[in-house]
Amino acid sequence: MTEEKVTSITGGPLDPDAAAAAGAGKGDERRERNLDLILDIPLKVTVELGRTKMLVSELLNLGQGSVIELNKLAGEPMEVLVNDKLVARGEAVVVNEKFGVRLTDIISPAERVEQLK
């Protein structure tokens, strides 16, 4: 059995036409097929404004208009987590009357590896 070394791919999604134009061989086609296998795996994406701890009695006293104090300051970047791991930071935006997040900082691959330890 032969073992193929997988190298990191930068510059965005694989484009079969661009790969063929660059003289890509069977190894690149195989790598693209392997990537296709994982593209439909669901991931849990969470955008976190902040956190707090409260007693059950405090939680039961909450009502409409109650304010919950979070551990972050107003204007601080929101954290974007994928499967509970930090991958980016961003700011809240409104698009077509819906809230969204504009990514302002992507965590480097080295930092993401450090989170796994």
Q: What is the pLDDT of residues 9-49, one digit of tens each?
A: 334 444 444 444 445 456 677 777 777 888 889 999 999 88
- The superfamily in CATH containing domain 45-115 is SpoA-like (2.30.330.10)
Count the alpha carbons within 13 Å of 7 in the hemisphere toward its beta carbon: 4
**Predicted confidence (pLDDT) per residue in 87-107, tens digit:** 999 998 988 999 899 999 999
Tokens of 7: 């190298």
Domain chopping of the chain, boundaries? 1-41, 45-115
Given 3-state DSSP classes, what are the helix, strand and coil percentages for the chain, each rounded to the nearest 5?
25, 25, 50
Listing from the earlier edge strand, what are the strands of the sheet with 78-82?
Answer: 45-48, 78-82, 85-95, 98-106
pTM of the model: 0.58
